[in-house]
Chain A
Amino acid sequence: MQALTFATPPADAGAEALRGEVRRFLDDEMPGRTPLQRAASWSGSDPAFSRKMGERGWIGMTWPKRYGGHERSALDRYVVLEEMLAAGAPVGHHWIADRQSGPSILRHGTEAQRQHILPRIAAGACSFCIGMSEPDSGSDLAAARTRAQRVQGGWLVNGTKLWTSDAHHADYMILFCRTGAREGDRHGGASQFLVDMEQARGNGLTVRPILDMRGAHHFNEVVIEDLLLPEDALLGREGDGWAQVTAELAFERSSPDRFLSAFALLTEAVRALGPAAPERAAVAIGRLASHTLALRRLSRSVAGMLQAGEDPALQAALVKDLGNTLEQDTVETVRLLVDAEPSEEDGSAPLAAVLAHLVMTAPSFSLRGGTREILRGIIARGLGLR
């Protein structure tokens, strides 16, 4: 077995000045937002807020300046992410683009694709959705059936994507689909495409809402029938889709959104319990804080490893699995410390509302971005067991 190592997060002297700037920004922007709004965490979307962040230079922070980026360090970026998430800021509009789609385009895109899209993402003016899952392909992404066929002048796409978060708002989708035969390799013959959603909607691509169990419209079914994509919609190399998508998932799995999704509930619990809370509550709250601090250390370490060009797939999976467990633990811990019946109805106390929101969203934490079982499989492979 290879020794499990997490590199020391790189030191960054400028990060603390930046933290002050971000906190001042949040002090100005956040007071009007209720605890329940904050509880939505990175699912909460506000395009105006994203634009303001873009103006500050807080999206696409590590990207080259020629693509609208700011050439800041991964740790600078980390400071912005964690301050936004801990405050419950509505970062959803740009989140996926900043976290994974932009970095994928930077890595695999053509010069024209980069020039065309990255500056808009960095401005907070361009949102992305992820077209991976399908009706018969969830955890088993390689079983995707959606197919793009080479035709005169481009690609003709047919298939159905499912659970596509924000497909009803997004400007682009990165679509994962088949382009060739597997030829013995289950992971072969797949590619990724950049789909301009505005052009595609109504021209072969239909977005149908799916309400989640809270009754909210967050994800969708995306039906694709004879959608014609231009030649230059291909992202990266034909047939390299599997490798590209796996690299994308490493960006998706280690950032602080994987352990701070329940932070609003911790905040409300601290407010409700107050400094004179019984020892039992102090111990339980302390435990959540201790776990948060340890995860923060691991997650910052992975950020540093990604910046250094390493491939921390194992470490990222470990962070997500531990992080989702903490998020779900937070809900179960807080419930037992306070006397609140969870309810999002109008007039509910903030704690009851935030608790209700998290009770009802927590199951998704260990599904989205790869289920707990799939992550543990990846970890087992990293340990040399598979």
Chain B
Amino acid sequence: MSDPLADSAERLFAAHAGKDVIHAAENGVFPQALWDAVARAGFTAALLPEHAGGVGATAAEAMALLRIAAAHSAPIPLAETMLAGWLLAEAGLPVPQGVLTVAPVRVSDVLTLRRTEDGWHLTGTASRIPWARDAAAVAVLAEGPDGPTVALLRPDGFTLARHGRNLAGEPRDTMAVDTALATDAVAPATFGPTQLRAAGAAVRTVQIAGALSRALSLSVQYAQARVQFGRAIGKFQAVQHNLAVLAGQAAAALAAADMATDALAGGLDPLRVGAAKARAGEAASIAAGLAHPAHGAIGFTQEYELHFATRRLWSWRDEFGNEAEWNGVVGRAVLAAGPDGLRPLLTAA
């Protein structure tokens, strides 16, 4: 690919998202230099419309950046900052600089807005919020008196009830919110929690494709380099076929990422996003289950980098809806369409 934006992203992440940076991030050190470089390059604003501070990139370009970041296991809230900015911009609210994240991310968590004399009051608890501890602001999709409402929440408006992490060591915090908000920090949402979940699923799908491509390239390189029984293990047909299956799953995840990107750019059709997230999630499971055996014990160590990719795959497949949840959504749509509606549903452009 001779795409200058993608090339510059490859260089940036290769230079700034090394093993030490990832380990440090997992141990609680926010990768400031990496983040600053990414922000300076305009990547964090890539999904924003230009009037909201965007850089004139297409959704496809933004998602390509996200995929590359994920392929490098860059331990930063790029997906979350893109998603939050997009949510705020859709609602016509200002998009602050710095680390952004979204809430809630779990179906069972609800944040409630009610009107007060001079503005609004937001209350509730939201668990597993990515990077809440580092966020300059949180884009909240709350239940308001007139339906779904977007609120711009600053760090002084919530406390962290729990500092958690996902399997990949990425921050996943519980926020307790009980705060007044000014009128200009609140706006009606153009969509509800289902679409936010779909948008989250779309970005995770793209990230899975990135991490999976990394698991594939590491596995192929390792199979070419590691010698047993007098030859590279990649010369054994059993190993070749496992890696061919792994490549098939990487291809399926790339297709899923493209589907998710299209959906993100145009209406977030739950069928398309659901199919994408479910397919990518399944690919993640199969691929991780092949990349590890191909590496033997070295892949099971902290020293070797495969786990940066596989732990992300194991985390992201369950975030914003796992395969069962999204396949269920797709299946319901298919069953509702019936035998005569099936073909048009699946072959719609």
Contact = CB atoms under 8 A, between A and B. Distances in A.
Interface of A: 1, 3-6, 8, 15-16, 19, 23, 79, 82-83, 86-87, 266-268, 270-271, 273-275, 277, 279, 281-287, 289-298, 301, 315, 318-319, 321-322, 373, 375-377, 379-380, 382-386
A6 B347 contact: no
A294 B259 contact: yes
Interface in B190-245: 213, 216-217, 220-221, 223-224, 234-235, 237, 239-241, 243-245
B216 A4 contact: yes
Given A286-B326, A286-B331, A385 B274 contact: no
A275 B221 CA distance: 48
Candidate in A3, A284, A386 with the most chain B CB atoms within 10 angstroms: A3
24 contacts: A1-B220, A4-B254, A5-B1, A19-B349, A23-B344, A79-B347, A267-B342, A273-B335, A274-B335, A282-B331, A283-B331, A289-B346, A290-B276, A291-B279, A293-B276, A294-B252, A294-B259, A296-B346, A301-B255, A322-B252, A375-B244, A383-B247, A385-B220, A386-B240
B240 A279 contact: no
Given A1-B217, A286-B329, A287-B327, A297 B259 contact: yes
A290 B335 contact: no
Contact of B255 (A19, A267, A270, A295): A295
Contacts of A87: 343
A83 B338 contact: no
Contacts, number: 181
Interface string B3-27: 0000000000000000000000000
A315 B248 CA distance: 9
A266 B342 contact: yes
Nearest to A87: B343
Given A270-B342, A315-B251, A385-B220, A286 B334 contact: yes
B241 A290 contact: no
Nearest to A13: B349
A108 B254 CA distance: 34
A297 B257 CA distance: 10
A379 B326 CA distance: 30
Interface string B311-349: 000000000000110111111111111110011111101
A322 B326 contact: no
B69 interface: no
B256 interface: yes
Contact of A290 (B223, B234, B243, B279): B279
Contacts of A281: 331, 335
B234 A385 contact: yes
A19 B331 contact: no
Contact of B330 (A274, A277, A286): A286
A286 B270 CA distance: 12
A278 to B, nearest CB: 10
- Residue picked from B1, B330, B331, B342, most chain A C-beta under 10 Å: B331
A83 B244 CA distance: 30
B63 to A, nearest CB: 12
B278 A287 contact: yes
A286 B332 contact: yes
Q: Which of A5, A16, A87, A294 has the most CB of B within 10 A?
A: A294
Nearest to B335: A275
Contacts of A289: 275, 330-331, 334, 345-346
A285 B324 CA distance: 11
Given A267-B339, A296-B346, A298-B255, A290 B244 contact: no
Contacts of A273: 335
B224 A8 contact: no
B250 interface: yes
A318 B346 contact: no
A13 B143 CA distance: 40
- The 5 residue pairs across chains A and B that have the minimum distance between CB atoms: A286-B331, A282-B331, A286-B327, A286-B330, A380-B240
B335 A277 contact: yes
B170 interface: no
A6 B251 contact: yes
A266 B330 CA distance: 14
A382 to B, nearest CB: 8
Given A4-B216, A290-B327, A293-B275, A16 B349 contact: yes
Given A6-B251, A287-B330, A385-B224, 20 more contacts: A4-B251, A16-B349, A79-B347, A86-B342, A268-B339, A270-B334, A270-B335, A290-B282, A292-B346, A293-B259, A293-B346, A318-B251, A319-B251, A321-B245, A376-B241, A376-B245, A377-B244, A385-B235, A385-B239, A386-B240
B335 A380 contact: no
B258 interface: yes
B133 to A, nearest CB: 35
Contacts of B258: 6, 8, 297
A3 B216 CA distance: 10
B336 A279 contact: no
A285 B331 contact: yes
Interface in B247-272: 247-248, 250-252, 254-256, 258-259, 272
B336 A275 contact: yes
A24 B199 CA distance: 35
A223 B343 CA distance: 42
Given A283-B328, A286-B327, A275 B251 contact: no
A267 B340 CA distance: 8
A301 B223 CA distance: 29
A383 B242 CA distance: 12
Contacts of A83: 343, 347
Nearest to B272: A293
Contacts of B247: 4, 318, 379, 382-383
A377 B241 CA distance: 7
A4 B221 contact: no
Nearest to A321: B248
B246 to A, nearest CB: 9
Contacts of A373: 241
Contacts of B345: 289
A285 B328 CA distance: 8
Contacts of A23: 344
A383 B243 contact: yes
A26 to B, nearest CB: 9
A274 B338 CA distance: 7
A72 to B, nearest CB: 16
B327 A283 contact: yes
A3 B209 CA distance: 12
Which residue, of A16, A87, A295, A298, has the highest number of chain B Cβ atoms within 10 A?
A298
